[in-house]
Amino acid sequence: MIGFRMTSKNKYSVSKLYPLIGGTLFKEFGEIIENLDSLDILIYSFMSMQEKEVLSEINELKKLKKDVILIAGGAHPSGCPEDTLNLGFDHVIVGEGEISLPNLINSIKSGKTPEKIIKGKPIENFDDYEKIWPLAPIEITRGCPYNCRFCQTPQIFGKNIRHRSIESIVKIVKTMGDIRFVTPNAFSYGSKTGTKPDIEKLEKLMKSLFEIKKRLFFGTFPSEVRPEFVNFETLDLVNKYCDNRYIHFGAQSGSDEVLKHIRRGHTVSDVINAVETSKECDLIPKVDFIFGFPDETKDQRKESIDLMKYIVKKNGKVHAHYFMPLCGTYFENSTPELLEKETLDILGKMAKKGQITGSWGYQYSKNLE
């Protein structure tokens, strides 16, 4: 038996790979234990935040059945393949898995001895991979031309932009309910470089989906857009064809010095323009911030808080995070800056008022462990 360990954190990854392999989905660790005697291969996909939980499960599995073959992929294994092997995995796929995972499974079944660390082969044509979990958002773009120092996306999927065709997207969504997407930047769809919107391609996509008569959400959960892509042309398309009231984009900091340091590729002015444009188009801006970047100062955090308060005054929403160094990124060995009591108190008060959401508190407490 082949099994996938599925959680709320990896369901999008599993939705792309499970249809290619088949097998059994295990939503609870206890289900794995119950089926351990018939389990030959178990596949994990996880992020750095789940490393301790995964290690605990792997240790328990190895005690009960040492010969089960464990395969890992996803963000953390792609960034730290050697460390992932040390957790107890037998094979690690780095990067994309649509081609390499089935090949690895076939090699194991045929009695071959595959490499421990396998560099995933990028898929060239999304349209060859239309089988996805029926309830999952559709991945329409892969790759990112930007080089944010905290982000794993370019390391996992590369900097070259690849888009699923409109015909393929339409075919898939006909079997689904609400239409949502997974993409590093929704407004980059159709763009050859991913550095500016292709309005013609965006409208062609949205118009094709609008005609299906289902609720369409674009530039909002679970994906977002970049602030400099937010303009009257892109938002007019959202208002014309889509059902979302929110437009979700990342500011990450209210300090231009920090934005330059993390190589974000936009300015604070871009964020302010995006907020103002969203409001003029009757859309609610929902803006991401990250606190605790390496070498971030108290004054720079105050700039972020000031920008957050400005967004709230504009009836926008803020989603806050605490910086966590991720494997494979420029900052992977960096230490997050501790937050002073004043900053923690302000964030706490804003959260109690419902002005900010996000996992910043949990992430900060995990850093202190």
10-residue mean pLDDT series, the chain (369 residues): 93 87 94 94 94 95 91 95 97 96 96 95 84 75 95 90 95 87 96 97 98 94 94 98 97 98 98 98 98 98 98 97 94 96 96 94 86
- Structure confidence at residue 368 (pLDDT): 82
Distance CA 223, CA 221 (A): 5
**Are residue 90 and residue 184 in the same domain, yes or no?**
no
Overall number of domains in the chain: 2
**Are residue 57 and residue 132 in the same domain, yes or no?**
no
**Are residue 280 and residue 319 in the same domain, yes or no?**
yes
CB 132 within 8 A of CB 106: no
Length of the chain (residues) = 369
84, 119, 154 — which closes off a domain? 119
- Domain at 105, CATH number: 3.40.50.280
- Structure confidence at residue 125 (pLDDT): 86
Distance CA 13, CA 293 (A): 27
94, 119, 144 — which closes off a domain? 119
- Structure confidence at residue 134 (pLDDT): 59
**Are residue 240 and residue 208 in the same domain, yes or no?**
yes
**Are residue 82 and residue 28 in the same domain, yes or no?**
yes
60, 90, 119 — which closes off a domain? 119
**Tokens for 29?**
């660790």
Boundaries of domain holding 26: 2-119
CB within 8 A of 72, min separation 6: which ones? Answer: 43, 44, 45, 46, 84, 87, 89, 91, 92, 93
- Structure confidence at residue 176 (pLDDT): 81
**Are residue 109 and residue 135 in the same domain, yes or no?**
no
- Domain at 282, CATH number: 3.80.30.20
**Are residue 212 and residue 270 in the same domain, yes or no?**
yes
**Are residue 106 and residue 133 in the same domain, yes or no?**
no
The predicted model scores a pTM of 0.90
- Structure confidence at residue 133 (pLDDT): 63
